[in-house]
Amino acid sequence: MIQLILSSQFLFGVLRLTTPIIFATLSCLIAKKAGVRNITIEGTMLCSALGGVAVSAWTQNVWMGLLAGMAVGVGVGLFLGYFHIIMDTDIWLTGIAINQFANGLTVFVMFLITGDKGSTSSLPSLTIPNVHLPLIEKIPIIGQIVSGQSLLTYLAVVLLLVIYILLYKTPLGLRIRAVGEYALAAESVGENADRIKLIALGISGLCASFGGMFMSMSYSSRFARDMVAGRGFIGIAAESMGGGRPMAAAAAALFFGVADSLANILQSFSIPSELLMAIPYLATIVGLVVYSAKKQKDEQRCIQQNIRNETDDKS
Amino acid sequence: MNSRQVNEMFQIIKTMLAILVAMVFAFLFIVLISNEPLAALKAFLVGPFSSMRRFGNLIEFFIPVCFTALGACIIFSIGQCSVIGEGAVFFGGLIAAWISIKMGTGGMAVQLAALLGAALVCGLIAMIPMHLKLKYNADLFVDSLMLNYVLLYMGTFILNYSIRDSEIGMTASYALPEGSTLPVLVQKTQITTALLLAVAAVILVVIFMEKTSVGYQMRMVGLNEKFARYSGMSVGKLCMLSAFLGGLLSGAGGAVEILGRYERFQWLGLPGFGWDGILIATIAGFKARNVPIAALFIAYIRTGADIMNRTCDVPSELIIAIQSLLILMIASRGFLSKLHQRLIVQHVKSNAAESEV
Amino acid sequence: MEELILEMKQITKIYGNGVLANEKVDFSVKKGEIHALMGENGAGKSTLMKMLFGIEHPDEGEIFIGGKKVQIKSPTDALNLGIGMVHQHFMLVDSLTVAENMVLRCEPKRGLFIDMGKAVSEAEHIAKKYNFQIDAKAAVSTLPVGMKQRVEILKALYRGAEILILDEPTAVLTPQETEELFRQLKKLRDNGHTIIFISHKIREIKELCDRITILRNGQSKGVYDVTEASVEELSALVVGRDNVKKIEKSKAVPGETMLCVKNLCYGYARKKRILNGVSFSVRRGEILGIAGVEGNGQRELIEIITQLRRNEKGELWLDGQNISAGNVKQFRDLGSGYIPQDRLTYGASTGASIEENLISASSGEKKYHNRGLLSAARIRAYTAQLIREFQIKCDSPRTNVGMLSGGNIQKVVVARELTGDRNLIIADQPTRGIDIKTAAFIHQRLIALRDEGKAVLLVSADLNEIMELSDSLIVMHEGKITAYFPDAEMVTEQELGRYMLGLDRQDEEQIKEVCYE
């Protein structure tokens, strides 16, 4: 078993399975930084997955498909923003309703296009190419793991860096963080908090769109109903465990990717697959509780510390 | 008219208008995409009443979502966002099947045991994420959602390793013992005594939320938690109780669904009733007394959509999408807020005029 | 004549809920002075300044900056006019660094990115210019309060503020930090900046300011040269009563001890204990008033007594029972009523009906039930009686409390808290911000309860109320009881004012007399 886990195939699979979760995590992260709990990532991914497939089949150009999927993602993000920020709708209800909306809409549109409700296998849709990295490919083991992944897998890494830089190195990022943490402070220097939140939700939708397209244009070569299977939600959990730090959130996403691949690989042993399938979800709950409990403890300790410091100063 | 009635009237106007807008959307799309728009519209609108069997479908859909919507009302009215209903429905169905099969006979006692067992187990499970929230401040939405998936796979495991019938060609449990399923109430349909149970559940929940001091306290916690604490209510205990009752009702919904309409347990995914329950509860304004009408409405458009899907060329998912838009409009405070403002101002003015006289 | 940099003329502001916050206020500041704006809480200082900073907008009146009439619609406008404000609650984003907070919305850029190096050096440069010592790269959350305040001041200066408004800046500082702040403010003045200093600490104003404007009840009580006016004169103007309203009541006949607070200690703020060994008792048949400028521990004290806050040290005895580790329910079951100062967060649920609000503390009681269920008829009968008795104006008992006026909301709270089998009433600012008629009504009810032999503990920042209503008085200053007057009638306003402002304190023996067994 250990051999299997250490094999390059396994690690290759980990990266592959982590890809959509990374996108979902980033999507959740940027919205949360602006102070909005985006739980529509699951639905956004579904919509983009279909949008990408449909347009790539229609134009026979994979890049047009990619662009269309991105546009759909931004659209869903702004749709959420419109209802939550401008129409003042409860964020949880908006999220739940938009996810349901996406469930219905994707199947409906798929049926309109293909006459089928199960999948788009009848469409001549294109896939996003896998990329063999020159030089790195030649390195033993590492080359086998890292090279030959989907273009989107590399994009996930790039996007992680881009989001990190956006948040911490650009004026927009600074404003997003300020609005999300203390909107009044930002408004006291003349910022329009609603505008910043809408922008952040647009970016959030964009991030999710890549995750959706990975599922339909890379992981598989067609769209199928419910194909995201909770990965958008797992992204939300990964973000929580990251405690708002992009790199830590990405690490948490990787953890879920490992759990996912483990579940795949352990199937060849006599462990019931149903229990293995539950691992990523169970891991999420345990991870969240451990993280929250630790955070709570730290906060208490912080208060204690302050009291002690202040009394020390006094004496 | 007093100001409360003004508010209530506004809510009704808003809901009706949202329904109208949603229906216009639905008609528009049906006319646009269908080759036989009139037939499709007829199937959608009149279909559910065109035969006893179809009307039966409407009631059959109504029963489980009525339970889950009641559960959602109880959980959301205390101000917590737990989406455990979906997992609880699934697991409730499984546990009910498991108990029936293991007991191996039929009769009232078995039905009761299956139902109560399923409801209790789900009630207890629903308390887990709430406990984690209260104790560790762990995110309730994410935890309850993840628990749904865990329940799905645990349930599938129990199905495969404990009650799976390997003799048949599909993944399903052994047949439920004769007499352990709920008796049919209306001939030619699958309307069973489950309908009576649903009606009883509505009455009990309405009484609980409106006529007992515990239900009253739950509503107060949902409206203003600080006020509740100041008034001497035990907020934590009330939250746990609401989670328990919410899970219990959803579990019962799953149990009556399996015991009423299936010969074997054969769900391989989450059935979706939990989400529908939350949406129905939203339409009902999280008031239990409005649940039956909201659930009937959703059951009506979903059954209509199904019939349209089967007899014409319009997929039922169109209606699922439009139904979500409807909920967005009803839940948004911004929708028609200007009208609301005008109604209130008018009311205040007319009151002032009265008191001057 | 020196140049007037700022003039506000005949400013009137009425809030949506009908509170008259400013009435025809004239306020003018000379260039390069430190001008004090003094007054009690609720006198209208903050409102006046918020209008200057564009957060609120005047209903009447004009504002002139440098002789030119201006409209200030938003903070952006104010910043463009060179007005900066240091709010009482800092407008700083905790997780960002000092430099990031300072440059927010006017970030120096290099291409697409923030030029963080430049931001830091600009922050350091401006800090150095005014002799402030800060670490521009530190996260704000790691800074002590005094440092955060400096960042706020620098933030305003960075945006080119010529006029600097400081809203009670010393309220959060230790004496050492205050001294440091004063040095810096004087230096700013010498550099040509104009400073508006909001405070109610007379000694600080004496030390720092050039001129002073006094506000009371939303009206200006005149402008004075700080060096010419005496401390006594100024404090009389600040805490003075406009027209003394006599409250009719008989002499109190105190009975046995109802509530006993022993050596309560709680929390830290500004390196001092928020409550530092507070002991007193309240007896049946008396109204004990707690006087004091707000923020001297009264809020915490009341929340600990009413079990909304955990106490850290000391004991609480209510009707002979130790409730030091009790809960709200136990506190209420012993026959206590509590009128909280925050009536919209704690006192009432605005989304619930009047009926629902009236029964919240007693919903489990038999009197509302019929065969085990809540009876609408019984609740209706009970609440209708309360609505009549307390003259709550509403169109129906099922109207949401949020639809009522402030005075009527308070009547709902008071009706709930004063009715029933009561032993102890705690009234925290019971008449703040409500109309005179309702206030008088609430006063009468409290006196009536006292006459029935209940114990009443009153906290109020309204000097008229606390002096007229109380039978005996204690004064709180900086978390301690600094005076006890067994007979409230024997105290003069001036005397009380000196204790409230911390200019005087009684010796331990005198204070100890408030503890009865």
Q: What is the pLDDT of residue B356?
A: 45
What pairing do the DSSP bridges indicate for beta strands C211-216 and C219-225? antiparallel
Show which subunits contact A, needing at least 3 CB pairs below 8 angstroms.
B, C
Q: What is the mean pLDDT of residues A231-254?
A: 89
Does the beta-carbon distance from A88 to B333 stay under 8 Å?
A: yes
pLDDT at B65: 95
Task: Tell me the shortest Cα–Cα distance from C348 to chain B, in angstroms.
Answer: 6
Taking a C-beta distance cutoff of 8 angstroms, is the pair A64, A55 a contact?
A: yes
What pLDDT score does C22 carry? 87
Tally Cβ neighbours within 10 Å of residue C269. 17
Which helix (DSSP H) or strand (DSSP E) does residue C20 occupy? strand C20-30
Interface residues on A facing C, Cβ-Cβ cutoff 8 A: 165, 169-171, 174-175, 177-178, 181-182, 184-191, 306-307, 310-311, 313-314
Residue type present at position C406: G
Task: Calculate how close chain B gets to A129, using CA atoms only, in Å.
Answer: 32
Confidence tier at A134 by pLDDT (50, 70, 90): confident
What's the rounded Cα separation, in Å, for the pair C114 and C274?
42
C-beta separation of C11 from C60 below 8 A: yes
Provide CB contacts within 8 A for C350, sequence distance 6+.
Answer: B224, C344, C400, C401, C402, C409
Instruction: Note the pTM of the prediction, 2 decimals.
Output: 0.86
Pairwise CB contact (< 8 Å): C96 & A190: no
DSSP B10-33: HHHHHHHHHHHHHHHHHHHHHHHH
Q: How many Cβ atoms from other residues are within 10 Å of residue B131's Cβ?
A: 17
Q: Flag whether pLDDT at B181 surpasses 90.
A: no
Chain A positions touching C85 (Cβ under 8 A) are 188
Indicate the helix (H) or strand (E) that contains B54: helix B52-77
pLDDT given for residue B214 in this prediction: 94
Name residue, tokens 């989907």. Answer: A150
Candidates C314, C233, C239; CA nearest to C278 is C314
C380 CB-near residues (< 8 Å, 6+ apart): C355, C397
Residues of A in contact with B129 (CB under 8 A): 285
For residue A34, what are its two tokens? 């602006």
Q: Chain-centre distance of CA A232, in angstroms?
A: 6
Shortest distance, CA A176 to any CA of chain C (angstroms): 11
Give residue A265's Cα distance to chain centre.
Answer: 23
Token pair for C308: 């909304």
Of residues A184, A191, A314, nearest to C105 (C-beta): A191
Residue A134 phi/psi, 5° resolution? -65, 155
And the tokens for C382? Answer: 């009970």
Given a cut of 70, is residue B351 above it in pLDDT?
no
Residue C91 contacts A, CB cutoff 8 Å = yes
Residue A315 has pLDDT above 50, yes or no: no
Are A191 and C74 a contacting pair at CB < 8 A?
A: no
**Nearest residue to C310 via CA among A300, B240, A309:** A300
Q: Is the pLDDT of residue A243 over 70?
A: yes
Portion 82-101 of B in contact with A at CB < 8 A? 83
Contacts of B44 (CB under 8 A, 6+ apart): B26, B30, B301, B304, B305, B307, B308, B314, B319
Nearest neighbour of A87 by CB, restricted to B160, B161, B332: B332
This model of the complex carries an ipTM of: 0.87
Cβ contact B61:B302 at 8 Å: yes
Handedness of CA B221, B223, B224, B228 (dihedral sign): negative
How far does C205 lie from chain B, in Å, by closest CA? 38
pLDDT band at A312 (very low <50, low <70, confident <90, very high): very low
CA distance A152 to A235: 16
CB contact under 8 A, A101 and B325: yes
Interface contact C231, partner A, CB < 8 A? no
User: Is B227 in contact with C348 (Cβ distance < 8 A)?
Assistant: yes
Q: Residue C1: its pLDDT value, please?
A: 45
pLDDT, tens only, C142-163 = 888 888 888 999 999 998 889 9
Contact present, C67 and C146 (Cβ < 8 Å): no
List of chain C residues whose C-beta atoms are within 8 Å of the C-beta of residue A178: 93, 96, 104
Work out the end-to-end distance of chain A between its first and last CA atoms, rounded to an integer number of angstroms.
Answer: 61
If phi > 0 it is left, if psi is from -120 to 50 it is alpha, else beta; for residue A77 that is alpha
Would you list the DSSP string of A53-121?
A: HHHHHHHS-HHHHHHHHHHHHHHHHHHHHIIIIIS-B-HHHHHHHHHHHHHHHHHHHHHHHHS-SSB-T
Whole-number CA gyration radius for chain B: 22
The set of long-range contacts for A80-85, using a CB threshold of 8 Å and a minimum separation of 24, is A80/A36, A80/A38, A80/A40, A80/A201, A80/A205, A81/A36, A81/A197, A81/A198, A81/A201, A81/A202, A83/B328, A83/B332, A84/A36, A85/A36, A85/A194, A85/A197, A85/A198, A85/A201
* Cross-strand bridge partners of residue C83: C163
Residues of B in contact with A293 (CB under 8 A): 136, 138
Chain segment C448-469, per-residue pLDDT in tens: 999 999 999 999 877 778 888 9
Parse chain C into domains and list their residue ranges. 4-239, 245-335+422-517, 353-420
Per CATH, which fold does C245-335+422-517 belong to? Rossmann fold (3.40.50)
Largest CA distance in chain B: 84
How do the domains of chain A map onto residue ranges?
Answer: 2-228
C112 interfaces chain A, CB cutoff of 8 Å: yes
A302 → chain C, closest CA residue: C142
The arithmetic mean of pLDDT across residues A176-181, rounded, is: 94
**B268 phi, psi to nearest 5 deg:** -110, -5
Question: How large is the average pLDDT for residues A16-25?
Answer: 93
Give me the pLDDT at residue A314, please.
40
- Fold: same for C4-239 and C245-335+422-517: yes
Closest C-alpha among C461, C456, C510 to residue C482: C510
Yes or no, beta carbons of A190 and C74 under 8 Å apart? yes
Q: Which residues pair with C11 in a beta bridge?
A: C25
Scan residues 487-516 of C and list those with Cβ closer than 8 Å to B: none
Average of per-residue pLDDT across A120-149? 82
Q: Do A174 and C96 touch (CB under 8 A)?
A: yes
Whole-number percent of chain A with pLDDT over 70: 93
Question: Per-residue pLDDT averaged across A163-191, rounded?
Answer: 92
Judged against a pLDDT cut of 80, whether residue B5 lies above it is answered with: no
Cα C385 to chain centroid, rounded: 34
| A45 has a pLDDT exceeding 70 | yes
Alpha-carbon distance A311 to nearest alpha carbon in chain C (angstroms): 7
B338: confidence class by pLDDT, cuts 50, 70, 90 = confident
Substitution target from C331, C338, C345, C395 for chain B, most B beta carbons within 10 A: C395
Instruction: Indicate the residue of B3, B216, B230 with minimum beta-carbon distance to C399.
Output: B3
Whether residue C91 and residue A177 make contact (CB cut-off 8 A), yes or no, is no
DSSP designation for C346? I
User: How far apart are alpha carbons A41 and A53 in whole angstroms?
Assistant: 18
Residue type, C458: L
Percentage helix, strand, coil, to 5, in chain B? 75, 0, 20
Query: What does DSSP assign to residue A222?
Result: S
Given pLDDT bands bounded at 50, 70 and 90, which one contains residue A182?
A: very high
What DSSP string runs through C295-341? Answer: TSSHHHHHHHHTTSS--SEEEEEETTEE-TT--HHHHHHTTEEEE-S
- Give the nearest partner residue to A178 out of C74, C93, C159, using CB atoms: C93
Cα B151–Cα B157–Cα B163 angle in degrees, nearest 5: 115
Q: Is C425 exposed, middle or buried (0-12, 13-18, 19+ CB in 10 A)?
A: buried
Question: Lowest-confidence range among A183-192, A304-313, B138-147?
Answer: A304-313
- Closest-CA residue of chain B to A103: B321
Please check whether residue B268 touches A, CB under 8 A.
no
Nearest-Cα distance to chain A for C274, in Å, is: 12
Pairwise CA distance, residues B149 & B326, whole Å = 27
The predicted pLDDT at position C37 comes to 92
Out of B179-183, B217-221, C259-263, pick the least confident: B179-183
Task: Give me the amino acid identity at B155.
Answer: G
Q: Cβ contacts (< 8 Å) between C104 and chain A: which residues?
A: 174-175, 178, 185-186, 189, 191
d(CA A230, CA A42): 7
> Beta strands C472-477 and C287-291: pairing type?
parallel
The overall longest dimension of chain A from CA atoms, in Å, is 80
Neighbors of chain C by Cβ distance (3+ pairs < 8 Å): A, B
C105 in contact with A, Cβ within 8 Å: yes
B96 in helix, strand or coil?
A: helix
Cα distance from C328 to chain A (closest Cα, Å)?
23
Question: For chain C, which ranges sit under pLDDT 50?
Answer: 1
Handedness of CA A117, A122, A124, A125 (dihedral sign): positive
What is the rounded average pLDDT of the residues B316-339?
85
CA C27/CA C221 separation, integer angstroms: 11
Q: How distant, in Å, are the alpha carbons of B166, B197, C197 from that of C85?
A: 76, 64, 10
The least confident of A53-67, B163-177, C324-338 is B163-177
Chain A nearest C-alpha distance from B30 (Å): 12
Which residues of chain A neighbour C116 with C-beta distances below 8 Å?
169
Selecting from C92, C105, C113 the residue whose C-beta is nearest the C-beta of A169 gives C113
Domain formed by C4-239, architecture: 3-Layer(aba) Sandwich (3.40)
Confidence of residue B107 (pLDDT cuts 50, 70, 90): confident
